Structure 1
Amino acid sequence: MSVCDVTLLCNYPKCRTKLSGFAWVTACSHAFCDQHGSGEFSRSPAICPACSSALSGKLDIVRTELSPSEEYKAMVLAGLRPDIVLDISARALAFWSYQVHQERMYQEYSFSRAAVRLKQLEKMLSQQNQSRELELTAMRGEIASQKKVMEEYKRQYGEVSERLMERNRQYQKLRGLYDSLRLRSMVVGERERPTQPGHHDYNTGLARQAIPQRSPQFLSLGLDGDSRFFSCLEADGAKTFFQFSSPAQD
């Protein structure tokens, strides 16, 4: 990149914009944009915002056009002796050289600050990575211990399950024996129990009724009286009927 391609920047610390149009130039070789130059140099006494130098002279601050017209360039140095023209040109080139050097120094300073910041960030990142590695190692150890505990629980659960199944098998076996013994005792008890009239058989659920004796046949009474009623009874049946039906005599 040639020298002509270099663009001056505003020397105001918080601006750093490219200069175009009009710029404020100071005797301490600093240049400012039109906005900050008008604001800073309107006060008295004027102080350079870049180096804090007092600018009390009449020509210590100049507002110049960065892209002058052809007429201005033709007349600004006209009539001056060559040594004066060369002196003015040398001073202008010195101002330009100082601005380029200052910009290079500023870029180097910014780069050094960025490098320091980068080293700090790398150090912090390395510390964080180390702490994360330690935490990860601790978590891996905890996971391994938890896996061992889980395996032990699985083994204990398998043993308990096997014992439970064995107890269930024993219980089913004892339950079968109990049911068979209970059924056998019920059958033996039914065989030994005497059969009585009117006794209810719980095994079959049938009530055994005693066979009744033959009852006398009653005929309807006619108009003749009670003689026909007693004549229809058998001898034994009538006797039995009156014996159990008549009230006792004193």
Structure 2
Amino acid sequence: MALSLCDDTLLCNFPKCRTKLCGFAWVTACSHAFCDQHGSGEFSRSPAICPACSSALSGKLDIVRTELSPSEEYKAMVLAGLRPEIVLDISTRALAFWSYQIHQERMYQEYTLSRAEVQVKQLEKMLNQQNQSRELDLGAMRGEISSLKKVMEEYKRKYSEVAERLMERNRQYQKLRGLYDSLRLRNMVVGERDTPATHPHHLLNPGGFRPLPSPRVSPSFLAMGPEGEGCLFTGLETDRPNTFFHIRSPLRE
């Protein structure tokens, strides 16, 4: 809070207080002013020490509790009867007090401004470092994203190749399945044509399979024996495995 010549408000010089003075204030010989609360607390001890500059205030009039808004009667009588040079001297010292307060306030504002500028520079430096680290992180993330995109494109390409292979295999499978079905139907039709409809196995075997023929016994036939007599030859008999033909001679009376 800047203090100008047209501003008639003083600020408490107690560290970390800096409230506007109103009502009563404590004024010291070292040109410092304090609020009624901090002045009553600090100047009640003996010896009194100025909280602003640590000066010893041992004189009787080194500390004065004054009213900042005196009445009209007080202002009319406080300097009454004094010679003009005394009045001017008192006024000069009072104005010097105000000049010191203004200078002190200006120095405090400059100090606060310099500290704020240092803090701003530090914050800017930290912000720049954070921005650089963020840029590095973003660059790394962009590189990772680009690599992931390449990997994704590679997977897409492999997926498209696998999908094309799968479609080709499906087409081949459908083609082979159609050929298999046509061949199976053709075999069924050919089997039905070769099998007689009146054969009893035709009803038992609808799939067209023909039963194997049953073995037949060879018919007997006549042949001339060694003596010129006729004899009958029969077919193969299972009871005598060592003889191929069995000769049966006719009975003689």
Q: Which amino acid aligns with 1:136?
A: L
Partner residue, 1:196? 199
Deviation per CA, 1:22-80: give whole Å up to 9, x if none: 11001111001111111221222222111122222211110001111222122212222
Q: Which amino acid aligns with 1:202?
A: P
Distance 2:101 2:111 in 1: 15
Pairwise CA distance, 1:95: 1.2
Secondary structure of the corresponding residue to residue 200 of structure 2: coil
Secondary structure of the corresponding residue to residue 5 of structure 1: coil
Distance 1:61 1:105 in 2: 24
Alignment of 1:1-250 (within 5 A): 3-193=5-195, 196-197=199-200, 199-202=203-206
Distance 2:52 2:7 in 1: 24
Instruction: Please identify, of 100-109 and 192-201, the stretch whose mean Cα deviation from structure 2 is larger.
Output: 192-201
Which structure has the highest helix share of the two? 1
Preserved contact between residue 4 and residue 102 of structure 2 (Cα < 8 Å): no
Preserved contact between residue 28 and residue 64 of structure 2 (Cα < 8 Å): yes
Distance 1:89 1:165 in 2: 108
Deviation per CA, 1:68-126: give whole Å up to 9, x if none: 12221222122223333222222212111111100000011111111111111111111
Question: Number of residue pairs matched?
Answer: 204
Partner residue, 1:207? none
Secondary structure of the corresponding residue to residue 63 of structure 1: strand
Secondary structure of the corresponding residue to residue 67 of structure 1: coil
Partner residue, 2:218? none
Q: Give the direction of change, closer, same or farther, for the CA distance of 1:2–1:60 in structure 2 (3 Å limit).
A: closer
Distance 1:179 1:27 in 2: 122
Deviation per CA, 1:138-157: give whole Å up to 9, x if none: 22222121111111111111
Distance 2:149 2:118 in 1: 46
Q: TM-score, normalised by structure 1?
A: 0.74
Taking only the aligned residue pairs, the percentage that are identical comes to: 84
Distance 2:131 2:173 in 1: 61
Q: Which amino acid aligns with 2:115?
A: R
Distance 1:80 1:42 in 2: 32
Secondary structure of the corresponding residue to residue 132 of structure 2: helix
Pairwise CA distance, 1:193: 4.4
Preserved contact between residue 30 and residue 55 of structure 2 (Cα < 8 Å): yes
Secondary structure of the corresponding residue to residue 26 of structure 2: strand
Q: Which amino acid aligns with 1:121?
A: L
Give the root-mean-square deviation of aligned CA atoms: 2.1
Pairwise CA distance, 1:188: 3.1
Pairwise CA distance, 1:189: 3.4
Instruction: Please identify, of 99-108 and 171-180, the stretch whose mean Cα deviation from structure 2 is larger.
Output: 171-180
Q: TM-score, normalised by structure 2?
A: 0.74
Secondary structure of the corresponding residue to residue 25 of structure 1: strand
Q: Give the direction of change, closer, same or farther, for the CA distance of 1:40–1:2 in structure 2 (3 Å limit).
A: closer
Preserved contact between residue 191 and residue 207 of structure 2 (Cα < 8 Å): no
Gaps of 5+ in 2: 209-253
